[in-house]
Amino acid sequence: MMPAYRDKVFHQDVLEMLRGLPDACMDMVYGDPDYNVGVKYAGKNYTTKWEDYVAWYIELARESLRVLKPDGNLFFYQLSQTERLLARALS
């Protein structure tokens, strides 16, 4: 991994961060994306449309796979609905 990124926390949009990384540079990507599709969480109401969320989630997965090394690992927590859509989009 590049030294500039090691042991640092970045307060930045995750897609912007991933897009700034070179191909095949990460050993692992871990994600627990927000499920911000009309749910209330911590007193906030998230109202992203389902279609917009799925499109964002697929892009997140594509960028994550792009930065993974060939023997890298991807770990995403996800809803069962997104799991099926993601598998279809990435196949």
On whether the CB atoms of residues 74 and 24 are closer than 8 A, the answer is no
User: Considering the domain boundaries, does residue 90 fall inside one?
Assistant: yes
Exposure of 88 in the CB half-sphere (CA atoms within 13 A): 8
Query: What is this structure's pTM?
Result: 0.81
Q: The dihedral of CA 24, 20, 76, 90: what is its sign?
A: negative
User: Considering the domain boundaries, does residue 27 fall inside one?
Assistant: no
User: Considering the domain boundaries, does residue 28 fall inside one?
Assistant: no
- Residue 71: which domain range? 34-91
User: Considering the domain boundaries, does residue 52 fall inside one?
Assistant: yes
Please, which pLDDT band fits residue 86 given cuts at 50, 70 and 90? confident
State how many domains the chain has: 1
How much is the pLDDT for 22? 93
The per-residue pLDDT for range 26-68, each reduced to its tens digit, is: 999 998 876 666 666 677 766 778 888 889 889 999 999 999 9
How much is the pLDDT for 78? 80
What does DSSP assign to residue 12? S
How much is the pLDDT for 32? 83
User: Considering the domain boundaries, does residue 22 fall inside one?
Assistant: no
How much is the pLDDT for 29? 93
Q: 54: phi > 0 → left, psi -120 to 50 → alpha, else beta; which?
A: alpha
What does DSSP assign to residue 22? P
